[in-house]
Structure 1
Amino acid sequence: MECSDARMLLVVLMIVVAGSRQASCNVVQFIFGDSLSDVGNNMYLTRSLARPSLPWYGIDFGNGLPNGRFSNGRTVADIIGDKIGLPRPLAFLDPSLNEDIILESGVNYASGGGGILNETGGLFLQRFSLYKQIELFRGTQELIRNKIGAEATDKFFQQSFYIVALGSNDFINNYLLPVYRDSWKYSDDGFNEYLMMTLEQQLKLLHGLGARRLIVFGLGPMGCIPLQRVLTSSGDCQEKTNNLAINFNKAAEKLLQDLSGNLPNTSFRFGDAYDMVNDVISNPDKYGFDNSDSPCCTIGRIRPSLTCIPVSRLCKDRSKYVFWDEYHPSDRANELIADEIIRKLGLSQLNTTNSFSQSTAPSPAPFS
């Protein structure tokens, strides 16, 4: 072979390899959400009052140190991604995030305290609302466009997988608190309509930015989280709050069906695990839990605290508790929720390889 021919062949191979790296066939995910999906953004919001910064957060995940998740282990989005072959995206504010990592893994914009509405979660001082998260996503697209060009960027974002998981803060840290104007401005139905109108515009924005495969997570029985129970004299679930969640889910499911029917080349689906979670809470023994009404991480009878605090104590066996703290499910409960969403939606493997597939679940050891 002539030297010139060999050099030409080498150049062609380099172009092919570079192109394959630039336009990877692997699907990545972009996650929009609140503390149930946050993997570290609030850790970098230094004035936020919603930060999982104590050592007990992440105790059953990785090296056992805080990793930005409001749980002892993984989020529902973590687990779904692991099980269908998606890489875990870094938090948007993670200083190591760059264009190459975005192309390999996507981005997580979720922020503890965030809501569908801009006004939600103001008591936490700093948080990303869904509109802000979409704004950050738009900026991410500009970064990728500058790196790989417009055509490849459009293809990359259209083949990606999207999760939107917000709404509980809009009720618990907005509508149900009298310090917010929305609590006295709207009726229950009126507030739900306000949320749906806002969510519809946000999902249309995401569609305009390339989102084609998207799942919106439904709300669980919010009235049964420890924070809501402790506000009642009986310690029972708050039916009003649960009914708000049920009505939100019904409206959101219809909204997703309508958008999928009207927006071109779109699969927007609703991930509902309400009934299953309600059954877990009502019949914990059936699922191997000992406790479904109080948090594993607690300060005892002097409650509630927003998150674990320095004087909090841990339960003896975290795998036996449905709730990790006053707001958030434990890793084991999150896995049940993820499995239910995967089952209901019939989600299948999207990528052939996934670095987390062999060691996704922590093995909580009894705390002593």
Structure 2
Amino acid sequence: MEVRPTRRLLCLAAVVSWALAVARCDPQVPCYFIFGDSLVDNGNNNYIVSLARANYPPYGIDFAAGASPTDSPPLMSLNFWVSTTSSRRSPQRAGTSSSAAPTSPPPPPASAPRPASSWYGGRIPFTGQVQNYQTAVQTLVSILGDQDTASDHLSQCIFSIGMGSNDYLNNYFMPAFYNTGSRYTPEQFADSLIADYRRHLQTLYSYGARKVVMIGVGQVGCAPNELARYSADGVTCVGRIDDAIQMFNRRLVGLVDEFNALPGAHFTFINAYNIFDDILANAASYGFTVTNAGCCGVGRNNGQVTCLPYQAPCANRDQHIFWDAFHPSEAANIIVGRRSYRAESPNDVYPMDISTLASI
């Protein structure tokens, strides 16, 4: 991100998003809050001591203005949802003025029993992201004049949460750096993550969140990095990883039911795993020719190291499901975003898609 940590993330990005009401076309929602890991992150972490950076080419290669600090080239599923519901694209930095768009994605999170991806260095964990949101709410109350007005405004906003991928990729299944894989069974690890998730959702609800999108974890076992490390043929997805992911996803669905019992709550689950499974199984029909390797990267499957600075990516990135060792390509993200916004299968979402949520 391009603002200092004390002012970054959500401080005014969502507070002033009500200015969208005077935009050229009416938005479906007045503001959009985003919490999550590098799958929704479009910041650069410049004011955080971290190795987790994507602020160099070829990242952001498809932006007209050139390279930008995002982990894809450049559209992510959240960009699609935000542009569809609010007529604005999520910014490449956290907003701190009244011209800011209604989003502000954070860097890689930590919600596991031990901090996820801490070997990369600094990050803003889920706890920190929620604290930043609480600060934003306090600012919103001061701007709008009273808590009731602020609560009414927030009840119409959409909150998207995409957590868990890094907890598995860069923690549970990284035994060289963490012992969580030996200390916890997959069921215990999923239960621990869900306990943290529930606690943060309770805080968000207490601070006005009513329309909440909970994004399931996709097929981590099919990412180039995991294929490079664990797949014998470099093609077959790693079953034990995906099985553990599904334990977590099933518990997320339970959280949806749990929170939808609360007054005014409209929570929904995006089945990213199912959507991605369909993309992989029917890759050719979606126009993909490469399913197991990054468009750029180093080593087996282009998955042992992410894109190097100024590395030339593949020439056919729209035909790759993965952009780098971990992240889906823009082409894949657009499909996930489209099917999340307007479900194309009963298994895509539960209990409603984002277009329905926005209309409530």
In the superposition, the TM-score normalised over structure 1's length comes to 0.81
Aligned to 1:114: 109
For 2:133, the aligned partner's letter is F
Task: Note if contact 1:29-1:89 (Cα within 8 Å) is conserved in structure 2.
Answer: no
Aligned to 1:28: 31
SS of 2:260 mapped into structure 1: helix
Aligned residue pair count: 324
Matched, 1:158 2:165: no
Aligned to 2:134: 138
CA distance in 2: counterparts of 1:145 and 1:306, whole angstroms: 45
CA distance in 2: counterparts of 1:349 and 1:106, whole angstroms: 19
CA distance in 2: counterparts of 1:186 and 1:85, whole angstroms: 41
CA distance in 1: counterparts of 2:207 and 2:120, whole angstroms: 29
Bigger mean CA deviation after superposition, 150-159 or 163-172: 150-159
Aligned to 2:199: 201
Note closer, same or farther for the CA distance 1:318–1:48 as it changes in structure 2 (3 Å cut): same
Q: How does 1:242-253 map to 2 (within 5 A)?
A: 242-253=242-253
Q: Which runs of 5+ in 2 are unaligned?
A: 1-17, 344-351
Aligned to 1:264: 263
Instruction: State the Cα distance separating 1:23 from its structure 2 match.
Output: 8.5
For 1:125, the aligned partner's letter is G
Aligned to 1:360: none
CA distance in 1: counterparts of 2:354 and 2:301, whole angstroms: 42
Q: CA RMSD in A?
A: 2.5
Note closer, same or farther for the CA distance 1:312–1:21 as it changes in structure 2 (3 Å cut): closer
Note closer, same or farther for the CA distance 1:131–1:297 as it changes in structure 2 (3 Å cut): same
CA distance in 1: counterparts of 2:33 and 2:275, whole angstroms: 26
Task: Note if contact 2:224-2:301 (Cα within 8 Å) is conserved in structure 1.
Answer: no
Instruction: State the Cα distance separating 1:300 from its structure 2 match.
Output: 4.9
Aligned to 1:82: 83
For 1:116, the aligned partner's letter is S
CA distance in 1: counterparts of 2:195 and 2:206, whole angstroms: 17
SS of 2:54 mapped into structure 1: coil
CA distance in 2: counterparts of 1:189 and 1:219, whole angstroms: 15
Aligned to 1:167: 164
Deviations 1:266-294 (A, max 9, x none): 00110113223112223311211110100
Aligned to 2:355: 348
Task: Note if contact 2:218-2:276 (Cα within 8 Å) is conserved in structure 1.
Answer: yes
Aligned to 1:328: 327
Note closer, same or farther for the CA distance 1:332–1:23 as it changes in structure 2 (3 Å cut): closer
Aligned to 2:70: 69
Query: Which structure: larger Rg?
Result: 1
Task: Note if contact 2:58-2:310 (Cα within 8 Å) is conserved in structure 1.
Answer: no
Note closer, same or farther for the CA distance 1:146–1:306 as it changes in structure 2 (3 Å cut): farther
Aligned to 1:355: none
Deviations 1:206-259 (A, max 9, x none): 000100001011111110000000013321210011111212111101111111
CA distance in 1: counterparts of 2:299 and 2:20, whole angstroms: 53
Deviations 1:33-86 (A, max 9, x none): 11111121x4333421111122111111231222x2100121111101222335
Instruction: State the Cα distance separating 1:350 from its structure 2 match.
Output: 8.4
Aligned to 1:190: 188
Note closer, same or farther for the CA distance 1:48–1:305 as it changes in structure 2 (3 Å cut): farther
Determine what percentage of the aligned residue pairs are the same residue: 27
SS of 1:35 mapped into structure 2: coil
Task: Note if contact 1:84-1:350 (Cα within 8 Å) is conserved in structure 2.
Answer: no
CA distance in 2: counterparts of 1:133 and 1:347, whole angstroms: 22
Q: Which runs of 5+ in 1 are unaligned?
A: 1-19, 353-368
CA distance in 2: counterparts of 1:227 and 1:142, whole angstroms: 41
For 1:145, the aligned partner's letter is V
CA distance in 2: counterparts of 1:193 and 1:78, whole angstroms: 30
For 2:355, the aligned partner's letter is S
